[in-house]
Amino acid sequence: LPRLLFLCPGVDPGRWRRGFARHMPELEFVPATAGEAETPPCDYALVWRPPAGALQDVPDLRAVFSLGAGVDDLLRRVRLPAGVPLVRLVDPALTELMVEYVVHWVIHHHRDFARYAAWQREERWRQVWPGQTSERRVGIMGLGELGGAAARAVAALGFDTAGWSRTPRRIPGVRSFHGPGELPSFLARTDILVCLLPLTAGTERLLDARALGLLPEGARLVNAGRGGVLVEEDLLDALESGRIAAATLDVFREEPLPPGHPFWRHPRVQVTPHVASLTNADTATAAIVANIRRLESGEALTHVVDVERGY
Ligand SMILES: NC(=O)c1ccc[n+]([C@@H]2O[C@H](COP(=O)([O-])OP(=O)(O)OC[C@H]3O[C@@H](n4cnc5c(N)ncnc54)[C@H](OP(=O)(O)O)[C@@H]3O)[C@@H](O)[C@H]2O)c1
């Protein structure tokens, strides 16, 4: 019988055990126990924030699954045994939450609803024409599972939508930009910038003073990718100068966002605590099981991470 090692310190295994029992009753669920001298042989591992160097000596591993969509932290912590694929989490429920988050904040910024929240506190009744949706230029960085779905949803609402990725992506209604060469023209045409990039050597500190300076005056930023993509001090400067009118940030260089960090109380920064999308054990186990079944019936796994590329 196949065995799955659950190596997610700090995550309650209960819901995961129930998820696997429901979707793959024949799978043996083995929670890793801290301090155990030797990890038992397992066919699969489900991991999140594992101790550094974990997995190196788990015998017979066939595949490692990440409990989340982003694998930057995992790749820093573990060296996978040679030839063992790492699979990231792709789950329609995860995508749905991210699409809601992006649509919510794009509309929030397009309509400048923060202004009315501020005016309410002053008992001020004032109406401002928000501008035409079809003329509001939204730019999504990263057009993968999450960014691609977000771009489709934003385009469906009628926004002038573009996306930027490493390689060209064809999405109906979404203008495609790609590679470093097309980044300046992508940024120059973007009023609301949504970042859904993974954190890799190629994206780290990509949103710096220079990149932010290429946006039109008064642009808005939504970062739900990874905190390390953004240079936080440069965003504070851009907010100060007015280049960026407002920002919504879900991810940060250091999480939880440290006490006293200027983002906490900044009047034009909305902080959400890494909740743009959250993994749900039941739907996630269904997605992981579908992939395990694929492997067991001799098919190729889907959503395998390219370790060299970093995503
Ligand atoms: N805040 C949250 O709650 C939350 C939740 C889940 C995930 N996330 C973050 O969202 C990220 C994206 O997830 P996903 O499932 O959409 O990933 P994905 O399917 O792997 O897509 C990644 C996208 O980024 C593009 N990209 C990667 N490196 C690039 C580079 N150097 N230059 C330009 N484009 C680049 C890729 O380009 P190609 O299309 O050319 O490959 C692809 O379009 C995750 O890595 C994670 O960090 C955040």
Average pLDDT over residues 28-43: 82
Query: pLDDT value at position 85?
Result: 97
Of 30-44, 140-154, 288-302, which range is least confident? 30-44
Cβ(137) – ligand 1 distance below 6 Å: no
Ligand 1 atom nearest to CA at 203: 31
* Euclidean distance between CA atoms 163 and 143, whole angstroms: 6
On whether the CB atoms of residues 145 and 157 are closer than 8 A, the answer is: no
The predicted pLDDT at position 35 comes to: 64
* Residue 213, token pair as written in the block: 């300076």
CB neighbours of 279 closer than 8 A, spacing ≥ 6? 67, 68, 89, 91, 94
Catalytically annotated residues:
226, 274
What confidence score (pLDDT) does residue 53 get?
A: 86
Q: What is the pLDDT of residue 36?
A: 61
CA distance 124 to 120: 6
Q: 103 in the Ramachandran plot: left (φ > 0), alpha (ψ -120 to 50) or beta? A: alpha
Residue 123 in 3-state DSSP? Answer: coil
According to the model, what pLDDT value does residue 40 have? 81
Residue 240 CA, ligand 1 centroid: distance in Å: 29
Which residues make beta-bridge pairs with 271?
249
Question: How far away, in angstroms, is 293 Cα from ligand 1 center?
Answer: 25
Query: Which residue, among 121, 311, 123, 111, has the nearest Cα to 220 in the 3D structure?
Result: 111
Expressed in angstroms and rounded, the spacing between residue 208 Cα and the centre of ligand 1 is 18
Dihedral sign of CA atoms 19, 23, 25, 29 in order: negative
* DSSP one-letter code for 228: G
Average pLDDT over residues 218-247: 98
Mean pLDDT across the chain: 96
Cα–Cα distance for residue pair 240/81, rounded to 1 Å: 48
Q: Which atom in ligand 1 lies closest to the alpha carbon of residue 143?
A: 43
Count the neighbouring beta carbons within 10 Å of the beta carbon of residue 75: 18
What is the number of the ligand 1 atom nearest to the C-alpha of 250? Answer: 1
Residue 124: phi and psi, rounded to 5, are: -105, 130
**For residue range 127-176, what is the model confidence (pLDDT) as tens digits?**
999 999 999 999 999 999 999 999 999 999 999 999 999 999 999 999 99
Report, as an integer, the average pLDDT of 96-101.
98
At 270, the amino acid letter reads: Q
pLDDT-derived band at 37, boundaries 50, 70, 90: low
pLDDT at residue 19 is higher than 80? yes
Question: Hey, whose CA ends up nearest to atom 29 of ligand 1?
Answer: 166
Q: Given ligand 1 and candidates 75, 86, 311, which is best to mutate, with the most ligand atoms within 8 Å of its CB?
A: 311
* Longest alpha-carbon distance in the chain: 67
pLDDT band with cut points at 50, 70 and 90 for residue 57: confident
